[in-house]
Chain A
Amino acid sequence: EAEVAQSPRYKITEKSQAVAFWCDPISGHATLYWYRQILGQGPELLVQFQDESVVDDSQLPKDRFSAERLKGVDSTLKIQPAELGDSAMYLCASSLEAGVLSSYNEQFFGPGTRLTVL
């Protein structure tokens, strides 16, 4: 069964360091999402890609976070510099193309990367 892959599964870093997370969506899925889940809360969208284009990054803290999906397949989320408040689970999800005329397409989630900033 096809799955969304994420790495690493766990990351511990010190504040002010740079960290990067990688996501490989299900093959053929044009839409890719990065969510952040703080302990005890529900996931919140950071950025949504359609192929290689950003659809929504309104909640992405752009002074320290960046995301790219250069070839419209896998994606990298980077934080530089990391802060204590960035400790959370970072989830990647993918779905079939979210076009204007299409009905809702299920989002499939990866296992997440748990980040701890010391």
Chain B
Amino acid sequence: GDSVTQMEGPVTLSEEACLTINCTYTATGYPSLFWYVQYPGEGLQLLLKATKADDKGSNKGFEATYRKETTSFHLEKGSVQVSDSAVYFCALSDRTGANSKLTFGKGITLSVRP
């Protein structure tokens, strides 16, 4: 079945440091890939997405590129801020008819210190 593997956390960075969070996936079809973010006390929010190979999703300074050859969708940001502290989830949707469920990784907690 479909699965998503994220690097182990938590991750603690200083403000303005570079961020990379690794994500790899296993899917039978041609999935769409997503990064969701969960800020403290809030629900999940879509951060960015990519729907086909070589697509780059970007939002709020974050980027991720859909790499079919390595089945990866790593999240990157050049300069993190304290406000980026949250839990980040990589996810995929492998559409089968009307079934469009999301399959999530375990999530990783990012803490950014001033």
Q: Does A2 contact B (CB under 8 A)?
A: no
Most A-side CB within 10 Å, residue of B42, B44, B93? B44
| A82-118 near B? 1/0 per residue, CB < 8 Å | 0000000001010100111001111101111000000
Min distance, Cβ A111 to any Cβ of chain B, angstroms: 5
Q: Does A43 contact B (CB under 8 A)?
A: yes
Min distance, Cβ B19 to any Cβ of chain A, angstroms: 19
Residues of A within 8 A of B (CB): 4, 31, 33, 35, 40-45, 48, 50, 55-56, 91, 93, 95, 98-100, 103-107, 109-112
Give B102's nearest chain A residue, CB to CB: A107
CA distance A42 to B109 in the complex (A): 12
Q: List B contacts of A105 (CB < 8 A).
A: 100
What total of chain B residues lie within 8 Å of the partner, measured CB to CB? 24
CA distance A50 to B100 in the complex (A): 10
Q: List B contacts of A110 (CB < 8 A).
A: 43
Residues of B within 8 A of A (CB): 4, 32, 36, 42-46, 49, 51, 89, 91, 93, 95, 97-102, 104-107
- Complex contact A111–B107 (CB within 8 A): no
- Complex contact A109–B45 (CB within 8 A): yes
- Complex contact B98–A99 (CB within 8 A): yes
- Among B93, B98, B101, B105, contact of A100 (Cβ-Cβ < 8 Å): B98
Min distance, Cβ A39 to any Cβ of chain B, angstroms: 10
Q: List B contacts of A35 (CB < 8 A).
A: 102
